[in-house]
Structure 1
Amino acid sequence: MNFILQISTKIKKKMSTKQEFGSIRGRIFPIHKSELRKFLPMASIFILISFCYALTRSLKDMNMLKDANNTAIYWLKAVAITPSMILFTIIYGKVSRSTGRDGRFNTVMIYFLCFFAFSLLFLLPNKESLQLTGLSKMLIEKYPSLTGLWQAICYWPISLFYIHAEAWGTFALSVVFWTFVNEITGVKQAKRFYSFLSMFAALGSICAGLILKLDSVSKNFDQGLKFVITGIVLILVIYNYFTADIKANPAYYQVEAKQKKVKVKMSFMESMGFLAKSKYLMLVSILVIGYGLVIALFEAVQKAQVQEYVQKTGDNAIYAGIYSEQQIAVGIVSILVTLFFATPILKRGWRFAASATPATALVMTILFFTFLRFGSTLDGFLQSYHMTALHMSVIVGIYNVVLIKSVKYVLFDPTKEAVYIPLDEETKVRGKAAVDGVGSRLGKSLASVLVTLMATTFGGGDVANIRTPIVLIIIAVIICWFMAVQTLGKLKAAAEEKHESEHREASKIQASK
Structure 2
Amino acid sequence: MNRFKKILLLMFSITLFLNVAFAMLRSLRNTLAVVDLGSSAAVIPYFELFGALPGSILITWMLSGLIDRCSIQRVYYGAMIAFAAFFLSFTFLLYPLLPALKAGGEGASFLLQGISMGFYVVCELWKPVLLSILFFGFVMRRISPEEAKKTYPLLMLGASLGSALAGPIVTVCTSGSFGDALSYMGKGWSGSLTLMIMIIVLLGLLSACCFFYLDRLMNPLSAREIPESQCRFLEKVSYCFQSRELRLMGWIVIADYIAYSLAEVLFLEVLKQKYPDPKDYCHYLGILSTLSGALTIASAFLLAPTLLQRKGWTAAALATPVILLLTEGAFFVFLRGRFFTEQWIGWSADEWIQCLVVLGSLQYCLCRAAKYTLFDSSKELAYVLLPAREKREGKLVIDGMCARVGRGSASFLSIGLIALSGSVLGSALPAGILAIGVTCSWITSVLRLGDRLESTAASGKEAV
Shared fold by TM > 0.5?
A: yes
Cα offset, 1:398, TM superposition = 1.4
> 2:287 maps to what in 1?
325
Determine if contact 1:76/1:159 at 8 Å carries over to the other structure: yes
Secondary structure at the counterpart of residue 419 of structure 1: helix
Q: Aligned partner of 1:463: which letter?
A: V
> 2:25 maps to what in 1?
56
Change (3 A) 1:155 1:172: same
CA distance in 2, matches of 1:131, 1:75: 20
Q: Identify which of 167, 188, 193 aligns with 1:209.
A: 167
Determine if contact 1:284/1:488 at 8 Å carries over to the other structure: yes
Change (3 A) 1:197 1:498: farther
Q: Identify which of 29, 43, 54 aligns with 2:12.
A: 43
Percent of residue pairs bearing the same amino acid type: 23
Residues 91-128 of structure 1, C-alpha deviations (whole Å, 9 max, x = no match): 11111011123123222222212222222221223233
> 1:182 maps to what in 2?
140
Q: Aligned partner of 1:442: which letter?
A: V
> 2:299 maps to what in 1?
337
Equivalent residues in 2 for 1:373-412 (5 A)?
373-374=336-337, 388-412=351-375
Q: Aligned partner of 1:295: which letter?
A: Y
Q: Aligned partner of 1:430: which letter?
A: E
Change (3 A) 1:288 1:231: same
Q: Identify which of 390, 394, 397 aligns with 1:434.
A: 397
CA distance in 2, matches of 1:34, 1:262: 25
Which has the larger displacement, 122-131 or 163-172? Answer: 122-131
Q: Identify which of 62, 71, 88 aligns with 2:42.
A: 71
> 2:156 maps to what in 1?
198
> 2:216 maps to what in 1?
244
Cα offset, 1:35, TM superposition = 4.4
Cα offset, 1:480, TM superposition = 1.1
Cα offset, 1:370, TM superposition = 2.3
Pairing 1:492–2:453 present: yes
CA distance in 1, matches of 2:460, 2:139: 17
Secondary structure at the counterpart of residue 80 of structure 2: helix
CA distance in 2, matches of 1:131, 1:186: 54
Residues 395-427 of structure 1, C-alpha deviations (whole Å, 9 max, x = no match): 221121110010000100010011111334443
Cα offset, 1:76, TM superposition = 1.4
CA distance in 1, matches of 2:219, 2:395: 24
Cα offset, 1:290, TM superposition = 0.7
CA distance in 2, matches of 1:497, 1:193: 25
Cα offset, 1:152, TM superposition = 6.6
Q: Aligned partner of 2:430: which letter?
A: P
Q: Identify which of 411, 414, 423 aligns with 1:448.
A: 411
Pairing 1:307–2:272 present: yes
Pairing 1:169–2:127 present: yes
CA distance in 2, matches of 1:205, 1:218: 24
> 2:200 maps to what in 1?
228
Q: Aligned partner of 1:351: which letter?
A: T
CA distance in 1, matches of 2:338, 2:144: 49
Number of aligned positions between the proteins: 444
Determine if contact 2:240/2:394 at 8 Å carries over to the other structure: yes
> 2:184 maps to what in 1?
none
Cα offset, 1:377, TM superposition = 5.4
Pairing 1:479–2:449 present: no
Determine if contact 2:25/2:123 at 8 Å carries over to the other structure: yes
CA distance in 1, matches of 2:326, 2:7: 37
> 1:105 maps to what in 2?
76
CA distance in 2, matches of 1:302, 1:393: 8
Change (3 A) 1:120 1:105: same
Q: Aligned partner of 1:236: which letter?
A: A
CA distance in 1, matches of 2:110, 2:408: 15
CA distance in 1, matches of 2:56, 2:378: 23
Pairing 1:279–2:249 present: no
Change (3 A) 1:309 1:95: same
Residues 284-330 of structure 1, C-alpha deviations (whole Å, 9 max, x = no match): 1011101110110010111110112223xxx3321122101110011
Pairing 1:81–2:52 present: yes
Secondary structure at the counterpart of residue 61 of structure 1: helix
Q: Aligned partner of 2:431: which letter?
A: I
Pairing 1:160–2:118 present: yes
Q: Aligned partner of 1:332: which letter?
A: A
CA distance in 2, matches of 1:65, 1:343: 37
CA distance in 2, matches of 1:153, 1:305: 26
Cα offset, 1:166, TM superposition = 0.5
Q: Aligned partner of 1:128: which letter?
A: P
Change (3 A) 1:349 1:387: same
Change (3 A) 1:154 1:350: same
**TM-score (normalised: structure 2):** 0.88
Change (3 A) 1:466 1:186: same
Residues 177-208 of structure 1, C-alpha deviations (whole Å, 9 max, x = no match): 21122122321222232233212222111221
Residues 69-89 of structure 1, C-alpha deviations (whole Å, 9 max, x = no match): 211111111122211111111
Pairing 1:219–2:189 present: yes
Change (3 A) 1:492 1:114: farther
Equivalent residues in 2 for 1:458-473 (5 A)?
458-460=420-422, 462-473=423-434
Change (3 A) 1:324 1:342: same
Cα offset, 1:263, TM superposition = 3.9
**TM-score (normalised: structure 1):** 0.80
Secondary structure at the counterpart of residue 96 of structure 2: coil
Secondary structure at the counterpart of residue 386 of structure 2: coil
Equivalent residues in 2 for 1:100-139 (5 A)?
100-129=71-100, 133-136=104-107
Pairing 1:357–2:320 present: yes
